[in-house]
Amino acid sequence: NKKYKALLKRAVKNVVDLKDKSKATEELKKTTKLLDRAATKGIIHKNKAANQKSKLTKKVNKLS
């Protein structure tokens, strides 16, 4: 579980750090898959996954 949580943190950080919208959207898709899988496996709560996906999507949409 620790390993998977660390992987999630890194994935989220990668999306936030990107400045290019096209690259950020690609990373967002991968990160969304990881968050959904983690929620399904019970590593994180499903609402936490939904909240993180929402925040990341908003940040990516703000990029120009």
pLDDT at 5: 94
pLDDT at 1: 87
pLDDT digit string, tens, across residues 28-62: 999 999 999 999 999 999 999 999 999 999 999 99
pLDDT digit string, tens, across residues 4-27: 999 999 999 999 999 999 999 999
pLDDT at 8: 94
Q: How many residues does the chain have?
A: 64
pLDDT at 40: 96
Residue partners of 50: CB distance under 8 A and separation at least 6: 39
Apex 59 CA angle, 52 and 42, nearest 5: 10
- Domains along the sequence of the chain with CATH: 2-62 (1.20.58.110)
